[in-house]
Amino acid sequence: MHRPLFNPELRRRGIYLLPNLFTTAALFSGFFAIVQAMNGHFEAAAVAIFVAIIFDGLDGRVARLTRTQSAFGAEYDSLSDMVSFGAAPALVIYEWALKDLNKLGWIAAFIYCVGAALRLARFNTTLEVADKRFFQGLPSPAAAALVAGLVWVMIDNDVSGFEARWYACALTIFAGVTMVTSLRYYSGKDINLKKSVPFMVVVGVALFFAVVSSYPPGVLFILFLAYALSGYVIGIHDWRDRRKRLARSE
């Protein structure tokens, strides 16, 4: 029996516009970062990756708040993430610094790129069983922010890619490998935006934005570096807890 090329039910349901607009904006930002890196405008490329992170953080929350979640949106978001947080940071850091390391440079960039791909694939396949409070492995947007943050802060301090090539190589490999580890990273998904909070929390948020705005390249890089290292701190804490439990059970 001949099956129709398009599912009529899917045609009637259509595609939710609002959350996918944010996903498209994130994808465009990642693509823009690649174009800027190819033209040698590395600071603009780094900033574009941070803009992609903002849009990527909004699309999921908008979908949940407006109840417009869909399988299409989830797949589209994953493909967008691969461009914006996988290919774009790898190409930006390679063009800025890693190409001066010849073979080691493109190997480091590839380690990052494949790490992002594996991280996204694992996230998609373990979405239903994973603990919502934690990510397994460094999230790809945080890894992208780490790489882009290094480029941004170095350029802002007049450090060339050639001078920072070894730091860039080490950080790129670190970010790529950390994405595929089993380390736990706090996700923040248990935060209820509809719940009332103490007044001091609002003050704290205002102070946070003030600190970030004082020197965006340096503050953002330090914040995401601290977040990347937090997984190792949690991992050490979990390892010590397991050892204590084993010692008590003997």
pLDDT tens sequence across 40-93: 999 999 999 999 999 998 887 777 777 777 788 888 899 999 999 999 999 999
Q: Given a cut of 50, is residue 116 above it in pLDDT?
A: yes
Q: Given a cut of 80, is residue 10 above it in pLDDT?
A: no
**What is the Cα–Cα distance from 144 to 47, expressed in whole angstroms?**
11
Q: Given a cut of 90, is residue 39 above it in pLDDT?
A: yes
Q: Given a cut of 50, is residue 2 above it in pLDDT?
A: no
**What is the Cα–Cα distance from 69 to 63, expressed in whole angstroms?**
5
Fold of 13-249: Four Helix Bundle (Hemerythrin (Met), subunit A) (1.20.120)
**Residue type at 87?**
A
**What is the Cα–Cα distance from 198 to 201, expressed in whole angstroms?**
6
Average pLDDT over residues 151-169: 95
User: Given this model, what pLDDT does residue 13 score?
Assistant: 54
Q: Answer yes or no: are the C-beta atoms of 49 and 93 closer than 8 Å.
A: no
Task: Name the burial class of residue 111, with classes exposed (0-12), middle (13-18) and buried (19+) by CB atoms within 10 angstroms of its CB.
Answer: buried
Q: Given a cut of 70, is residue 140 above it in pLDDT?
A: yes
Q: Answer yes or no: are the C-beta atoms of 86 and 143 closer than 8 Å.
A: no
**What is the Cα–Cα distance from 10 to 197, expressed in whole angstroms?**
41
Rounded to an integer, what is the distance from CA 225 to the centroid of its chain?
12
Q: Given a cut of 60, is residue 156 above it in pLDDT?
A: yes
Q: Which residue has the tokens 């996204």?
A: 120
Q: Given a cut of 80, is residue 138 above it in pLDDT?
A: yes
User: Given this model, what pLDDT does residue 128 score?
Assistant: 62
Residue 27: pLDDT band (50, 70, 90) is: very high
Q: Given a cut of 60, is residue 3 above it in pLDDT?
A: no
Number of other CB atoms surrounding residue 198 within 10 Å:
8
Write out the two tokens for 168: 């860039």
**What is the Cα–Cα distance from 145 to 196, expressed in whole angstroms?**
30
Torsion angle of alpha carbons 44, 40, 118, 107, nearest 10°?
A: -150
Rounded to an integer, what is the distance from CA 115 to the centroid of its chain?
12
Q: How far is CA 118 from CA 26, 35, 129, 181, 239, in A?
A: 20, 24, 17, 10, 24
Q: Percent of the chain, pLDDT > 90?
A: 59
Average pLDDT over residues 123-151: 86
Rounded to an integer, what is the distance from CA 151 to the centroid of its chain?
16
Q: Which element (helix H / strand E) includes 136?
A: strand 134-136
Average pLDDT over residues 17-30: 90
Q: Given a cut of 90, is residue 107 above it in pLDDT?
A: yes
**What letter does residue 98 receive in the DSSP assignment?**
G
Average pLDDT over residues 223-228: 96
Q: Given a cut of 70, is residue 15 above it in pLDDT?
A: no
